[in-house]
Structure 1
Amino acid sequence: MSRQLLSMALAPLLGLFILGIGNGFLATLITLRLDDAGYSPVVIGWVSSAYFIGLALGAVFNDRLLLRIGHIRAYGCFASIVAVTVLLQGLWLDAYAWFVLRLIGGWATVGVYLVIESWLLTSGDQKVRGRLLAMYMISLYAAGAIGQLLLGVTDAAGVTQPFMVIGMLAALSVLPMAMIPRVSPLIEHAEPLSPWRLITVTPTGVVGSFGSGLLVAAIYSLLPLYLQRVGLSVNQIGQMMAVVVVGAMLLQYPIGRWSDRHDRQQVLILIGAFCVVISAGMLWLPLNTWLLAGLLFLLGGGVFALYPVAVSHAADRAPAGALVRMSQGLLLINAIGSTLSPPLITPVMSAVGDGGLFWSLGALGLMLVAFFIWRRSVRPAPLPVAPFAPSTPMTSVGAELGVTEELMQGAIEHEYAEDLSAVVPDVEVAEPLVGPPREDAAHIEYFDVDAEAGPHGDDDQGEPGSRG
């Protein structure tokens, strides 16, 4: 990777790292604060669900704002909204107000991810995008782990101080992006495939993406509640949540490489069964600190690997022209699963106790296993042709990053491509996202005012954009 490319990617990755520390901290903090205030698990679940509703809405609409004002200014807008919503949550504690603020915060947060992922996606050609994605994943997971550890550090500071720290981190994340006078990358907008078409083309991919949303959202939103109610201190909760994130970071790639060499349907079956076994261990084993940490490490690695393997399986089945749009559609389905997860699982926790979280995770795992086995018997999988690429379900552009040249060539040669083209007759092969702007009306190039202001980046000069 060239020094010039590394310097261009450094600013968005540093901004992501700073904001990601606060974002990983906030999800757990909100759950613990609401529980301390006496709210029921159902109320906590709905407040947590608001964030994922915002993620889903932002994944659909935020690219329009980005196209209008450019990457750098869009990042500043979204990060500022994140900071404001967090600081408002620190001013007063009310579940209804927090629901609205979390929804707005989720919408703004996915806008930040959209800016960063699209910046990285268009910074280099296909030969280096995989390495840029790996750097993105490392930054995201490392920030999440550090954010969880901040729980113990700020626990003694008071009620409002943690929210102030998170708000300051969101504000500071603007600096790396704002200090670089550079032309913004060019992105395109593509509408996702409808859910019905996705189900027709890849039922396993749809169910896997939806199930991943259910499981991951439960871990982020409700696992801190479980850990607090079984007697762990705030510092210990932060450490255990960090263990989950580290497990996701370390195990996702080996599982993905394994899926490249074996039947992906079989890998999905084993991941679902693995989640069932870990959930049973959480319910019935006599847990101590080390055993709890080990089980959570494995749970994070298995659950977080479900989505990229499901997307890779879907790409194996897709005609080449539908890959990008399919990735966007699966991302939205994943966000819908994340939205529904807390409201579905918290009533179980209220009915059967705190262990209801793992009863629910185990039941979800069993249903996924049953569905994957049924699909494998109906339609056995061919040899994998879509190289696995670890991906985090954040935005549609992030999903596009996993669509490689090898994946598209493999899908073209796939024995099912001709049949599936009849299901999706109107798709076209996506244009390259890197290259000179075209002169037709479908492509618009935007420049941040920083780039037009001259070498010193004076933000008072220049206009926000022009039609290419």
Structure 2
Amino acid sequence: MSRQLLAMALAPLLGLFILGIGNGFLATLITLRLDAAGESATLIGVVSSAYFIGLALGAMVNDRLLLRIGHIRAYGSFASLVAVTVLLQGLFFDPWAWFVLRLIGGWATVGVYLVIESWLLTAGDQKVRGRLLALYMIALYAAGVLGQLLLGTLDAMGATAPFMVVGLLASLSVLPMAMIPRVSPLLEHAEPLPPHRLITMTPTGVIGSLGSGMVVAAAYSLLPLYLQRIGMSVSQVGQMMAVVILGAMLLQYPIGRWSDRHDRQMVLIGISAFCIVISAAMLTLPLSFGMLAVLLFLLGGGVFALYPVAVSHAADRAPAGALVRMSQGLLLINSIGATISPLLISPVMTAVGDAGLFWSFGALSLFFLLFFGWRRSVRPAPMPVAPFTATMPMSAAGAELVVTEELVQGALEHEHLEDLSNVVPEVEVAEPVVGPPAEDETHITYYDDAEGVDIRRH
């Protein structure tokens, strides 16, 4: 990557990293504070869902605001709103007020991601999007791990100290974007494919994206509740959540490379079975601190890999012209899953106890296993059209980052071969030719057999 491109991407990535440190532990902190105040798991799930509702709403409407006021002013506005909502949560405690503040905070947070992702999107062409996305994910995951590890230290400084730090970081993240000497990039209004089109195009991609949103949201919002209720301190909960995010960061790429070499539907089946095993182990094995850390590391790798593999599978079927809108639509489906997850799983934890979280994980994973297995029997997956790309954008505009030049070219070649497979060429008898053919003359014959279309050049 050139120095010029790195310089163009440095400001948004630095802003993302600074904001991500506070955002990384905020969900954990809110869950722990509500539980310490004696609130039920159901109410905690309702408050947690507010953030994801805000994310979903912001993903659909924030790009219109960005088009009106520009990137830098939009970033400053969204980041300031994040800071205000968090500081207000630190000033007073009321679960329903927190619900409203978390909803507004989620709407503002996805606005920040929209600015960062659309800036990166226009920083380079399709040839370098894969590298830009890799830097984006490193910044996001590293900030998440660091934030979780800081949670215990900040909580020991006082009841309001963690909220103050999150507000300070959100405000500080404005500086790199405000100081960058560059004209704001252009942005077009995103128009994701509607759900009914997505279901027709890729049922596996839709269910994988929806299910991923459900399990990842539960991991962020309800797993800290489980850890605190089994006797862990705030610092230990932060450490365990850091292990989950670390597992997501380190295992996503190996699982993705596995999906490049095998049927992605079989990989999704394998991930689902793997999550069932981990959930069963959490319910049945004696859990020492070390054993729990290992299981949560593996769980993070499994649940966070579900979405990018599902998106890659969907891309294997999508026409080249629909790749961007498809990825945007799947992102919104993922947001819907994240929104409903705490509302569905927290009552289970209230009814059957804290272990209800892993009963829910196991039941969801079993459903995924059966669905992906059924789809595999109905319509086997195609060969990958391009190598796996890890996927973590938060906004519909940023979803275009995963549509690299390699993916577009692979989709175009796939469409071309499918078109040829529907053609039954006539057999022609060549006329005798006197003298050698011209140097630029090419004779192409198509042979349609059981193995597919064989293109031979003479």
TM-score by length of 1: 0.88
In structure 2, C-alpha distance between the alignment counterparts of 1:5 and 1:415, rounded to whole Å: 32
**Which residue matches 1:398?**
398
1:21·1:147 contact (CA, 8 Å) conserved in 2?
Answer: yes
CA positional deviation for 1:393:
4.5
**Which residue matches 2:443?**
none
Whether 1:22 and 2:22 are equivalent positions in the alignment is yes
Whether 1:136 and 2:136 are equivalent positions in the alignment is yes
**Which residue matches 1:439?**
none
CA positional deviation for 1:409:
2.4
CA positional deviation for 1:74:
0.8
Q: How does 1:162-177 map to 2 (within 5 A)?
A: 162-177=162-177
Q: How does 1:66-465 map to 2 (within 5 A)?
A: 66-414=66-414
In structure 2, C-alpha distance between the alignment counterparts of 1:365 and 1:161, rounded to whole Å: 38
In structure 2, C-alpha distance between the alignment counterparts of 1:35 and 1:161, rounded to whole Å: 18
**Which residue matches 2:31?**
31
Q: State the one-letter code of the partner of 2:50.
A: A
Is 347-356 or 121-130 further displaced after alignment? 121-130
In structure 2, C-alpha distance between the alignment counterparts of 1:318 and 1:6, rounded to whole Å: 31
- CA gap of 1:54–1:262, structure 2 versus 1, over 3 A, is same
CA positional deviation for 1:386:
3.3
1:212·1:306 contact (CA, 8 Å) conserved in 2?
Answer: yes
In structure 2, C-alpha distance between the alignment counterparts of 1:44 and 1:94, rounded to whole Å: 12
In structure 2, C-alpha distance between the alignment counterparts of 1:2 and 1:316, rounded to whole Å: 30
1:350-402 CA-partner distances (Å, limit 9, x unpaired) = 11110000000000000000000000000011211132111114111222111
SS at match of 2:123: coil
- CA gap of 1:372–1:416, structure 2 versus 1, over 3 A, is farther
2:137·2:392 contact (CA, 8 Å) conserved in 1?
Answer: yes
1:408-440 CA-partner distances (Å, limit 9, x unpaired) = 222233369969xxxxxxxxxxxxxxxxxxxxx
Gaps of 5+ in 2: 420-458
Identity of aligned residues (%): 81
In structure 1, C-alpha distance between the alignment counterparts of 2:255 and 2:417, rounded to whole Å: 26
**Which residue matches 2:6?**
6
In structure 1, C-alpha distance between the alignment counterparts of 2:155 and 2:56, rounded to whole Å: 31
In structure 1, C-alpha distance between the alignment counterparts of 2:56 and 2:210, rounded to whole Å: 13
2:117·2:393 contact (CA, 8 Å) conserved in 1?
Answer: no
1:124-177 CA-partner distances (Å, limit 9, x unpaired) = 122222111111100000000111111110122121111111100100000111
Is 406-415 or 119-128 further displaced after alignment? 406-415
1:319·1:418 contact (CA, 8 Å) conserved in 2?
Answer: no
CA RMSD, aligned part only?
Answer: 1.3
In structure 2, C-alpha distance between the alignment counterparts of 1:279 and 1:5, rounded to whole Å: 43
Aligned residues between the structures: 419
Q: State the one-letter code of the partner of 1:340.
A: I
1:240·1:293 contact (CA, 8 Å) conserved in 2?
Answer: yes
1:392·1:398 contact (CA, 8 Å) conserved in 2?
Answer: no
1:160-207 CA-partner distances (Å, limit 9, x unpaired) = 111111100100000111111211111222311111111011000000
2:209·2:310 contact (CA, 8 Å) conserved in 1?
Answer: yes
Gaps of 5+ in 1: 420-468
In structure 2, C-alpha distance between the alignment counterparts of 1:20 and 1:74, rounded to whole Å: 18
- CA gap of 1:84–1:138, structure 2 versus 1, over 3 A, is same
- CA gap of 1:404–1:23, structure 2 versus 1, over 3 A, is same
**Which residue matches 2:445?**
none
In structure 2, C-alpha distance between the alignment counterparts of 1:250 and 1:416, rounded to whole Å: 36
TM-score by length of 2: 0.90
**Which residue matches 1:463?**
none
Q: State the one-letter code of the partner of 1:314.
A: A
In structure 2, C-alpha distance between the alignment counterparts of 1:379 and 1:136, rounded to whole Å: 34
Q: State the one-letter code of the partner of 1:238.
A: G
In structure 2, C-alpha distance between the alignment counterparts of 1:260 and 1:410, rounded to whole Å: 13
In structure 1, C-alpha distance between the alignment counterparts of 2:272 and 2:196, rounded to whole Å: 24
Q: State the one-letter code of the partner of 1:324.
A: V
1:334·1:393 contact (CA, 8 Å) conserved in 2?
Answer: no
1:317·1:417 contact (CA, 8 Å) conserved in 2?
Answer: no
In structure 2, C-alpha distance between the alignment counterparts of 1:270 and 1:255, rounded to whole Å: 10
SS at match of 2:216: helix
Q: State the one-letter code of the partner of 2:22.
A: G
- CA gap of 1:416–1:211, structure 2 versus 1, over 3 A, is farther
SS at match of 1:396: coil
1:45·1:343 contact (CA, 8 Å) conserved in 2?
Answer: yes
Say which one has the larger Rg. 2
- CA gap of 1:128–1:409, structure 2 versus 1, over 3 A, is closer
- CA gap of 1:418–1:194, structure 2 versus 1, over 3 A, is farther
1:313·1:386 contact (CA, 8 Å) conserved in 2?
Answer: no
Q: State the one-letter code of the partner of 2:60.
A: V
In structure 2, C-alpha distance between the alignment counterparts of 1:45 and 1:251, rounded to whole Å: 28
In structure 1, C-alpha distance between the alignment counterparts of 2:386 and 2:329, rounded to whole Å: 18
